[in-house]
A and B are shown apart, each in its own frame.
Chain A
Amino acid sequence: MHSERAPLGLKIAAFLGLAFLHLPILLIFVYAFTTEDKTYQWPPPGFTLKWLEVTWNRPDVWEALSLSLQVASISTCIALILGTLAAAAVSRTMFLGKEAITLLVILPIALPGIITGIALRSAFNLADISFSTLTIVLGHATFCIVVVYNNSVARFRRISASMLEASADLGANGFQTFRHILLPNIATALLAGGMLAFALSFDEVIVTTFTAGQQQTLPIWMLEELVRPRQRPVTNVVAMVVVIVTFFPILGAYYLTRGGTDISGSGK
């Protein structure tokens, strides 16, 4: 017999599970306002807003933040172009080794970041490429492409081939078909994939560690700060910002893909 309502025990277990996942994040928020700056003492002896100001005036935070934004934006752009092209090729055409290509495209996200990192580092060394913003971007692009690819390949499959043929039949050239038919139908998938890619890149640590030179992205900066405590709550303020900056794109991506199910699929 199934009842409509979940038993109380299950409810408590679910609640505890969620609390275990999310309470630590709240803790970070609380420590951003503590008056104690050497150790994480509980309960906080007092609350202050001064760390917001201190963080605002730290140039190293701004440098790291701007590098992170730069890297995330460029990798997302690369991923949007290459990921979409790969998705189009895999879902719209038949070619030799298609299955193998499909697997190779999604491999970087299945591979542990440390492997990708080491592989890229030795490859860059071998090719005598010095570590720079560019190498970080390349590292991030490997997994960003997968995210965009996965999002758009599903959408491409739902666009009927005859819709694109109908466009050509009515006189549209390749670019017009892309602009007026294909793009409107995959736009939300691209936006969702792009947002996820941005969020992933923005908080990536492992691959970045291996592909960065002297630069620090925001997550790397935070890691350093934890090891070498100096005005500890500043890290918490930054962490809070990171949570907010990555949370909204992911939320957006979730709603876009959810609402996009009825975009294509008329016909038949």
Chain B
Amino acid sequence: MSNAVEFERVSRHFGETRAVDSVSMQVEEGHFFAMLGPSGSGKTTCLRLISGFERPESGHVKIFGQNSEAVPPNRRPVNTVFQDYALFPHLTVRDNVAYGLMVKGADKSTRHRQADEMLELVKLTGFGSRKPGMLSGGQRQRVALARALVNKPRVLLLDEPLGALDLKLREQMQEELKSIQNQLGITFIYVTHDQGEALSMADRVAVFNEGKIVQEATPREIYERPRTHFVANFVGSSNVLSPTLSVQSGGPSRWMSLRPEAIRLCDPSNSKLKGTLQNIRYLGASNRLSIRFGEEELSVSLPSTEVAPEKGVQVGLTWEEGATHVMDEDH
């Protein structure tokens, strides 16, 4: 498999801000690649470096092996689904979708046929003659998707495409996006700050912080073996054990990650750690217990079927060997 997009030590600074700071990454062709990070972490700037709306100050952005610096946005084999959709308000939905074909000089019947095919793909058959202003947020999102796909891009860039949708619609669109990607087999590069979205959809996830990639791996690896403190905190709700606590539990004097569902309650006498049950939150399928150890706190996920102890009692915690994972220091 070849690389669709490749960053070679790419930097983009805005004045004092290092929006993208010497980022290197490879996106394999046909992959669903998620760029995950808090706002201002550089992921959207990376996307704009691929679409061509930003130029790198140093390093190279390669698209299918070609240096892209000299190629303007309108001649790159990539298309973007914008965060605010950026639909053209004065054009009908069909003309919005057909826009890419129109500027390439396709004749009217071809344009309409292909636009209608795309609208069918995103389940908006029959909406062609409406104006974007008459559509709901979810429908606009689909139009933006169809409009970007009509050009048959080899890479589709998506900038927080589901950010403005409500939860139910978002989950539905996640599935649809994934199935469209499978169907078309093109590379998706997906920017999001929602770790659930990134983990459930992507083949590879790059976690961004302060303009750098902190970890780039499969979703499972990111979740189970976060490389740093930041990743553990940002992706999911992994516990972070300080070196002190780690030593107490019989581990090395290093920062460790430990997933809440890997911890079991046991008799304090033969436990790895003893702490006070601080709080219990009912989450439906499970209970989330906060257990306090002096300054630190660990959360434990307990199936609702198990009876949880009373608040304030001392509990013992244990886990399988290998459930903990040694992390690097941040920076």
Interface residues in chain A, defined as those with a beta carbon under 8 Å from any beta carbon in chain B: 160, 162-163, 165-173, 176, 180-181, 184-185, 262-268
- Provide the residues of chain A in CB contact with B73, threshold 8 Å: 165, 168-169
Distance (Å) between the CB of B78 and the closest chain A CB?
Answer: 8
- Provide the residues of chain B in CB contact with A268, threshold 8 Å: 84, 164
Known: A160-B84, A163-B88, A267-B84. A169 touches B74 (CB 8 A): yes
- Provide the residues of chain A in CB contact with B132, threshold 8 Å: 266
Cβ proximity bits B40-71 to A, threshold 8 Å, 1 near / 0 not:
00000000000101000000000000000000
Known: A171-B74, A180-B102. A264 touches B82 (CB 8 A): no
| Contact with A180, one of B103, B140, B151 (Cβ below 8 angstroms) | B103
Excluding A167-B103, A181-B88, 7 further A-B contacts by CB distance (< 8 Å) are: A168-B53, A169-B74, A169-B78, A170-B100, A173-B103, A262-B133, A266-B132
Interface check B79, CB cutoff 8 A = yes
Interface check B87, CB cutoff 8 A = yes
| Contact with A171, one of B51, B90, B104, B140 (Cβ below 8 angstroms) | B104
- State whether A168 touches B86 (Cβ < 8 A): no
Distance (Å) between the CB of A173 and the closest chain B CB?
Answer: 6
- State whether A267 touches B103 (Cβ < 8 A): no
Interface check B255, CB cutoff 8 A = no
- State whether A168 touches B99 (Cβ < 8 A): no
Interface check B228, CB cutoff 8 A = no
Interface check B89, CB cutoff 8 A = yes
- State whether B151 touches A170 (Cβ < 8 A): yes
Cβ proximity bits B162-191 to A, threshold 8 Å, 1 near / 0 not:
001000000000000000000000000000
Which chain B residue has the least Cβ–Cβ distance from A268?
B84
- State whether B89 touches A265 (Cβ < 8 A): yes
Interface check B85, CB cutoff 8 A = yes
Q: Count of A-B contacts with CB under 8 A?
A: 79
Residue in A165, A167, A266, A268 with the greatest tally of chain B CB atoms within 10 Å:
A266
Residue in A166, A172, A181, A263 with the greatest tally of chain B CB atoms within 10 Å:
A166
Whole-angstrom CA separation of A176 from B88 in the bound complex? 14
Known: A170-B151, A171-B74, A262-B133. A267 touches B85 (CB 8 A): yes
Distance (Å) between the CB of B64 and the closest chain A CB?
Answer: 17
- Provide the residues of chain A in CB contact with B82, threshold 8 Å: 162, 165-166
Interface residues in chain B, defined as those with a beta carbon under 8 Å from any beta carbon in chain A: 51, 53, 72-75, 78-80, 82-90, 99-100, 102-104, 132-133, 140, 147-148, 151, 164
Which chain A residue has the least Cβ–Cβ distance from B137?
A268
Distance (Å) between the CB of A171 and the closest chain B CB?
Answer: 5
| Contact with B100, one of A162, A171, A173, A181 (Cβ below 8 angstroms) | A171
- State whether B133 touches A266 (Cβ < 8 A): yes
Which chain B residue has the least Cβ–Cβ distance from A170?
B100
Distance (Å) between the CB of B155 and the closest chain A CB?
Answer: 12
Distance (Å) between the CB of A94 and the closest chain B CB?
Answer: 11
Whole-angstrom CA separation of A168 from B51 in the bound complex? 10
- State whether B103 touches A170 (Cβ < 8 A): yes
Whole-angstrom CA separation of A140 from B88 in the bound complex? 36
Residue in A162, A167, A168, A169 with the greatest tally of chain B CB atoms within 10 Å:
A169
- State whether A176 touches B80 (Cβ < 8 A): no
A-B residue pairs, 4 tightest by C-beta: A170-B100, A162-B86, A166-B86, A267-B84
Which chain A residue has the least Cβ–Cβ distance from B150?
A170
Whole-angstrom CA separation of A266 from B87 in the bound complex? 7
Distance (Å) between the CB of A180 and the closest chain B CB?
Answer: 7
- State whether B90 touches A184 (Cβ < 8 A): yes
- Provide the residues of chain A in CB contact with B85, threshold 8 Å: 266-267
- State whether B99 touches A167 (Cβ < 8 A): yes
Known: A176-B103, A180-B102, A266-B132. A170 touches B86 (CB 8 A): no
Whole-angstrom CA separation of A165 from B74 in the bound complex? 9
21 A-B pairs (CB sep. < 8 Å):
A162-B83, A162-B86, A163-B87, A163-B88, A165-B86, A166-B147, A167-B99, A169-B51, A170-B79, A170-B100, A170-B148, A171-B100, A171-B151, A173-B74, A180-B103, A185-B89, A185-B90, A264-B89, A266-B85, A266-B87, A266-B133
- State whether B87 touches A172 (Cβ < 8 A): no
Whole-angstrom CA separation of A180 from B89 in the bound complex? 12
Distance (Å) between the CB of A66 and the closest chain B CB?
Answer: 37
- Provide the residues of chain B in CB contact with A167, threshold 8 Å: 88, 99, 103
- State whether A169 touches B79 (Cβ < 8 A): yes
Whole-angstrom CA separation of A81 from B75 in the bound complex? 29
Residue in B73, B83, B164 with the greatest tally of chain A CB atoms within 10 Å:
B73
Distance (Å) between the CB of A163 and the closest chain B CB?
Answer: 5
- Provide the residues of chain B in CB contact with A263, threshold 8 Å: 89-90
Whole-angstrom CA separation of A268 from B132 in the bound complex? 12
- Provide the residues of chain B in CB contact with A165, threshold 8 Å: 51, 53, 73, 80, 82, 86
Whole-angstrom CA separation of A141 from B118 in the bound complex? 49
- Provide the residues of chain B in CB contact with A184, threshold 8 Å: 90
Distance (Å) between the CB of A268 and the closest chain B CB?
Answer: 5
Distance (Å) between the CB of A126 and the closest chain B CB?
Answer: 44
- Provide the residues of chain A in CB contact with B86, threshold 8 Å: 160, 162-163, 165-166, 267
Distance (Å) between the CB of B156 and the closest chain A CB?
Answer: 11
Whole-angstrom CA separation of A161 from B102 in the bound complex? 21
- Provide the residues of chain A in CB contact with B133, threshold 8 Å: 262, 266
Distance (Å) between the CB of B75 and the closest chain A CB?
Answer: 8
Which chain B residue has the least Cβ–Cβ distance from A169?
B80
- Provide the residues of chain A in CB contact with B74, threshold 8 Å: 168-173
- Provide the residues of chain B in CB contact with A163, threshold 8 Å: 86-88
Whole-angstrom CA separation of A169 from B80 in the bound complex? 7
